[in-house]
Amino acid sequence: MNSSSSPIADSILNLKNELAPFNAKLVAVSKTKPVEMILEAIKAGQVDFGENYVQELDVKQKQISAPIQWHFIGHLQTNKVKIIAPYVDLIHGVENVKALEVISRQAFALEREIAVLLQIHIAKEETKFGFDVEEVGKVVSDLFENPLPAVKLCGFMGMATFTNDEQVIRKEFRSLRKLFESVKQGFESRGIAGFDTLSMGMTSDYKIALEEGSTMVRIGSAIFGSR
Ligand SMILES: *Cc1c(COP(=O)(O)O)cnc(C)c1O
Range name among 32-46, 74-88, 115-129, 179-193 with the lowest pLDDT average: 115-129
CA of 109 to the centre of ligand 1 (A): 31
Question: Are 224 and 8 spatial neighbours (Cβ–Cβ below 8 Å)?
Answer: yes
User: Is residue 71 within 6 Å of ligand 1 at its C-beta?
Assistant: no
pLDDT of residue 15: 98
Domain residue spans of the chain = 7-224
Residue 1 has pLDDT above 90, yes or no: no
CA of 219 to the centre of ligand 1 (A): 6
Long-range contacts formed by 2-9: CB under 8 A, 24+ apart = 3/40, 3/43, 3/44, 6/40, 6/44, 7/225, 8/37, 8/40, 8/41, 8/44, 8/223, 8/224, 9/40, 9/41, 9/43, 9/44
pLDDT of residue 3: 45
Q: What is the mean pLDDT of residues 154-181?
A: 97
Whole-model pTM: value is 0.95
Q: What is the mean pLDDT of residues 212-218?
A: 98
pLDDT of residue 4: 52
Pick the CATH number of 7-224 from 3.20.20.10, 3.30.499.10, 2.40.10.220, 3.30.200.20: 3.20.20.10
**Nearest CA among 94, 89, 60, 97 for reference residue 75:** 94
CA of 86 to the centre of ligand 1 (A): 24
Q: What is the mean pLDDT of residues 91-102?
A: 96
Residue 44 has pLDDT above 60, yes or no: yes
Q: What is the mean pLDDT of residues 65-78?
A: 96
User: Is residue 202 within 6 Å of ligand 1 at its C-beta?
Assistant: yes
Strand runs labelled E in the chain: 25-29, 48-51, 69-72, 90-94, 114-121, 131-132, 151-158, 197-200, 216-219
Give 5's pLDDT tier (boundaries 50, 70, 90).
low
Residue-wise pLDDT for 78-88, tens only, equals 999 999 999 99
The number of the ligand 1 atom at minimal distance from the alpha carbon of 203 is 9
Question: Are 11 and 33 spatial neighbours (Cβ–Cβ below 8 Å)?
Answer: no
